[in-house]
Structure 1
Amino acid sequence: MSEIAGPAAAALASLSPDDVLFLQALPKAELHAHLNGSIPIKTLLELAQQHSPTQSSEVADTLQKLKSGAVLDEIDDFFSLMPAIYALTSTPEAVTTATRAVLQSFLNPTGDGTGSPQCAYLELRTTPRATAHMTQERYLTAVLDEVEFYPATQAALIVSVDRRMSDLDVEECVSLAIEMKNRGRRVVGVDVCGDPRKGDMQSFTQHLLRVKGAGLGLTVHIAECTENTTEDSLALLSCRPDRLGHTTFLSDELKALIRLIPCVEICLSSNILGKLVASLDTHHIHYYLKNNHPIVICTDDALPFRTSCLGEYSLLLAQPPLGLGLSRGDVTRIARMGMDAAFSRPCD
């Protein structure tokens, strides 16, 4: 199990050994994990060593922040970490190395003596990138080759489009996802992600509507920060997504519509450490639990938020103020919701 810190670590440390064993044995689905934000620090350091002597000071500074635990005072502090990670994964070989390490961190036994992986099923997500060394298609092929090393009951891929993309880039990215699915590659969905303050989501809708028609699942980051307008969210909801990411700031109008969405992806540590919610007490998970709306518990970006699936589930089971104090029965039910919300239905 990778090192965790912050709220998840405190919640985990407060649990009894029997509670930890219960959580480790619980079948869990990880449905909101970004590839480049989930690369183990050990792997990044190895890639950096291969990358030198051309390694920039920006890369070195970012790696030092990630090693010591990045402090995120505002949303830009998170997005400023990504260029260095992208620089280290700019070749097909580096993408292969990074993807393999991420998949192993989630799906292989943790090495803690329990023999339990972090999760039973993973839908990894990533945005195809073109660099001087590869096309978007080559990037996606490198990722899929590693994903498909695992059985379909364990791993699949969601292709992300970034809110900062041009109209043409979104169209090409969606077309690539559909083409890969039609080739029989294990692409199960499309995601909308990126800086929530960027982009005109109305212009995205014509492309996102193609996703559902192609038989792919659709998940969108929505209402992630206060700058997201209701109009922005309504445009995304008009595409009939199957799942929603974050949904942190909801107007009453949006709450009424979101009741119709099958599942919401909840990222507790991400929201708290990213300063999008003040504390666990004020987290919007309470709204969904109160209204019995299906949710799935996810890590988002395990590297900067220094968490794991076990850590996130510890936040459910630990007693307040370190956790929500849910019963084992409630935690089991939430885990089942996540498995049921998978695009590829791993238990069918």
Structure 2
Amino acid sequence: MELPTLASDVEAFIQELPKVELHVHLEGSMQPATLLELARKHGVADVPGSLEEVRDWYAFRDFAHFIEVYLASVHTLVDEEDFAVLTADVAARLAAQNVRYAEVHVSLYAHLMRGVPARTVFGGIEAARAEAERRHGIRLRWVPDFPGDYGVHTGEQTLDAVLAEGPESVVGFGMGGVEVPFAPMAELFGRARAAGLRSLPHAGENGGPERVREALDLLGADRIGHGIDSMRDPELVARLSEEAVPLDVSPTSNLRTGAVAQLWEHPLPRMVEAGLTVTLNSDDPPMFGTDLSNEYRTAAQLGLGAPGLAALARNGVAGSFLADSAKRVLITEIDTVLAGHAPNL
């Protein structure tokens, strides 16, 4: 089953719609040209030698291959300039899609384990963040994370580094990787929350609804990364709806990783119908062959009309950690764009 082609009026609406991105990975946003540039700079092996070859290599094959590409991107980041180059490109590409604000996951532990100090990571991304705000008007905030399946000690090292070196633009503490039981992480996330960081774990992409419950009950999750497995548990769905816990959903990512077999089977429409607070996100855009605008196209192809797309955009604003005054401004802009396009949609 193929998804329908969108009308030009819907495309125009999506492009003009002010957007917020709450689940996108910095390292997973590295474009092929940047990877090649940094690989050449540092003599990183096992990276194809031409841009055309790198682009072919980026094409998603399976999850193991995705991890190979992701780790290659990580290993090309060595000094502050590298992190600044990557961040500047990511910010410019987001701004070109009319993304006004983004909370970006940073694989901090992946750099710490290679001997790259946290101050190097933060120094580079902060310099580019400030310049991007001046140049493009986009605001970026950071969510350092660690792979939960590597053990709680990796999270402890990551949090220690964040508390020692993290700038004010760090808004949350995240956990990705394979979804293992979360009980060992409870004290760690309690410490992060006590320090003022928001709890932002990945849960319920393919680990079942029980991981989502644990994220809420044990980790005090402020938002859930993915969360699509929640639809397998009606009681959990009712709870998420009642508590209005945002679920940061990434349809193309879910397809690529095998969390859904076919894009048209994605539960996004059912999640919206069930009253869940769904936000739309791109996760690892170039490595999954997407970007945030494309995720809005996908949502439209899955049956959401312009009011539904605008609602997703509002959810992103509401679920963010922007100041209330900034949220009101963005929501007003979203409503204005919707009203302006309504006669043609």
Do the aligned partners of 2:84 and 2:124 also contact (CA within 8 Å) in 1? yes
User: Which has the larger displacement, 248-257 or 155-164?
Assistant: 248-257
Per-residue displacement from partner, 1:92-122 (whole Å, max 9, x unpaired)?
A: 3222211221112112xx3xxxxxx441111
Distance 1:328 1:234, change over 3 A: closer
Partner residue in 1 for 2:17? 26
Equivalent in the alignment of 1:285:
268
Compute the displacement of 1:177 (Å). Answer: 2.9
Aligned partners of 1:202 and 1:236 also within 8 Å: no
Q: Deviations over 1:128-170 (max 9, x none)?
A: 1126663123222322232233449722111112213443331
Higher relative contact order (CA 8 A, sep 6+): 1
Residue number in structure 2 paired with 1:42: 33
Question: Taking structure 2 as the reference length, what is the TM-score of the superposition?
Answer: 0.82
Supply the AA of the counterpart residue of 1:163.
G
Identical pairs, percent: 22
Give the structure 1 partner of residue 190 of structure 2.
209
Is the deviation greater in 119-128 or in 338-347?
338-347
Aligned equivalent of 1:148: 130
Distance 1:95 1:136 in 2: 11
2:224 equivalent to 1:236: no
Contact (CA 8 Å) 1:202, 1:232: kept in 2 or not?
no
Where structure 1 has 5 or more consecutive residues not aligned to the other structure, the ranges are 1-6, 111-116, 318-322
In structure 1, C-alpha distance between the alignment counterparts of 2:173 and 2:319, rounded to whole Å? 14
**8 Å CA contact retained: 1:62, 1:81:** no
Change (3 A) 1:189 1:65: farther
Matches of residues 1-348 of structure 1 in structure 2 within 5 Å? 14-51=5-42, 54-56=43-45, 58-60=46-48, 67-68=55-56, 70=58, 72=60, 74-107=62-95, 110=96, 117-128=97-108, 129-130=111-112, 134-151=116-133, 154-180=139-165, 185-196=168-179, 199-225=180-206, 228=207, 231-238=210-217, 239-250=219-230, 251-252=232-233, 254-259=236-241, 260-317=243-300, 323-345=301-323, 346-347=326-327
How far is 1:33 from its partner? 0.6
**Displacement of 1:70:** 4.2
Contact 2:20/2:316, CA 8 A, preserved across alignment:
yes
Distance 1:130 1:176, change over 3 A: closer
1: CA distance, partners of 2:147 / 2:51? 24
Distance in 1 between the 2:183 and 2:53 partners? Answer: 36
Does structure 2 conserve the Cα–Cα contact (< 8 Å) formed by 1:96 and 1:142?
yes
Q: Larger helix proportion, structure 1 or 2?
A: 2
In the aligned structure 2, how far is the partner of 1:95 from the partner of 1:177? Answer: 16
CA distance in 2, matches of 1:280, 1:230: 20
| CA contact 1:105–1:118 (8 Å) conserved in 2 | no
CA–CA distance in structure 2, aligned partners of residues 200 and 62 of structure 1: 42
Identify the residue that residue 113 of structure 1 maps to in structure 2.
Answer: none
Unaligned runs of 5+ in 2: 329-345
Partner Cα separation in structure 2 for residue 280 and residue 131 of structure 1: 36
